[in-house]
Amino acid sequence: MWLLMLEAGTALFLLVFIVWWTMFYGRNPNTPPLQEKITPPQKKDEQAPD
C-alpha cells in the first residue's frame, strides 16, 4: 500500500512541477527582444547616395 502512495505522490509532484515549469517558461513581456527587428533590403534606386 505504501508503494502505491509513494507512486501517486511522485506522479502528483511531477504533474505540479511540469505545470509550474511551463507556466513561468518564456520571456517576460517587459524585457526587450533579443534581436533587432529585421528590415527588408532596400531597392537599388532607394539606397542613400555614397
- pLDDT tens for each residue of 25-35: 766 677 666 66
Question: Rounded CA gap, 25 and 33, in Å?
Answer: 16
Encode burial over 8-25: b for 16+ CB neighbours within 10 A, e otherwise.
Answer: eeeeeeeeeeeeeeeeee
pTM, whole model, 2 decimals?
Answer: 0.49
Of the CA atoms within 13 Å of residue 36, those in its CB half-sphere come to 3
Q: 1-50: per-residue pLDDT in tens? A: 999 999 999 999 999 999 998 887 766 677 666 666 677 777 776 555 55
Measure Cα distances from 30 to 19, 26, 27, 33 in Å: 23, 12, 8, 9
What per-residue confidence (pLDDT) applies to 18? 94
